Amino acid sequence: MKFYFYLFGLSRSPYFSRMKAIFLLFLLLSPPALIAQTGYKDEMGRDVSREYFENQILEGPYFGIPDGEGGKILVHRMPFGKVDPQAFFEKTGNLDALNQGKSLIVIFYPGQDECNSTGSGDRTKSFEKEHKTLIKWAEKANAAPPIYLYSNPSGLERFKDVVTWKPDPDGVFSQTFFRYPYPCGSFVVIHPSGEFRGILGGYPLNQIQVALKKLQRANR
C-alpha cells in the first residue's frame, strides 16, 4: 500500500516533488521594486539575503511566504511546539477526547490548487482507503478519529461522501498553524498536553503516524 495522501494528489502528481520550486517561482515573480524595499527574513524574522532565502527553500525544509508587511519570510515545513489544547479540542467537538487523554488529528485543506487537483486514477476510492488507515492508526495511538477541515471547500465535492468536511471553526487552525494556503494540504496532531507536530504543504500519509508516536513517547 502506498502511504501517500491521494486527496492532495501526492502519489502521482509531479507537483509534490516540485513544491519548493513552485514557491521559489512565486518569489521570483514578485515585483522587483517591492523586494528591494522589503527584503527577506528567516524564520526568526531576521533580515537575510535573497540568495540565502532561496537556498533555504531549495535545500532545506522551508517555504517562503508573505510576511504581512509586503516582504517574504521563511516558514519551517515541519512545525512543532506547544499550545493550550482546550480551544482546538472544544471547537472540533472533541472535549470528551481531551478529557480521555486522546490526541487530535486534523487534516487541513487550503482550497483547490494545482497540487491537489491533478493526478490520475480514482482518488475517491484511494482516499477512502487512506481514511480507514488513519482511523486504525488513531485507535492504536489513543487518538480521536481524524477531523477534516477546510479553508476553502472548492474541489472537495468528490470526497463529500467519504468523510465530513467542516470549515475551520472561527479560523483558529488557520491563525495558529496554517497561516498561508500551503499547496496540497497540511496536517497537525495535537496531544492533550498541548504539544503538537505537523507538516505544511503536502506529506506522506505515514508521517501522521510518525507524529502520533513521537508525541506519545514525549508524553509518557
Q: Please report, in tens digits, the pLDDT of each residue of the chain (220 residues total).
A: 333 343 444 433 444 455 555 555 555 554 444 444 458 999 999 999 999 999 999 998 998 988 888 899 999 999 999 999 999 999 999 999 999 999 999 999 999 988 888 765 577 888 999 999 999 999 999 999 999 999 999 999 888 889 999 999 999 999 999 989 898 999 999 999 999 999 999 899 999 999 999 999 999 9
CA-only gyration radius of the chain, Å:
18
CA 215 to chain centre: 17
CB atoms inside a 10 Å sphere around CB 64:
22
What was the pLDDT predicted at 8? Answer: 44
What was the pLDDT predicted at 121? Answer: 56
Q: Tell the CATH topology of 79-218.
A: Glutaredoxin (3.40.30)
CA 41 to chain centre: 21
Amino acid at 183: P
Q: Which residue has the cell 482507503?
A: 129
Q: pTM, whole model, 2 decimals?
A: 0.81
* 165-200 residues labelled b (16+ CB within 10 A) or e (exposed): beebeeebbbebbbebbbbbbbbbbbbbeebbbbbb
Q: Domain boundaries in the chain? A: 31-76, 79-218
What was the pLDDT predicted at 70? Answer: 83
What was the pLDDT predicted at 27? Answer: 52
What was the pLDDT predicted at 197? Answer: 98
What was the pLDDT predicted at 12? Answer: 39
What was the pLDDT predicted at 7? Answer: 43
12: part of which helix (H) or strand (E)? Answer: none
What was the pLDDT predicted at 159? Answer: 87
What was the pLDDT predicted at 120? Answer: 54
Contact by Cβ (8 Å): 198, 208: no
Closest listed residue to residue 115, CA positions, set 170, 181, 168: 181
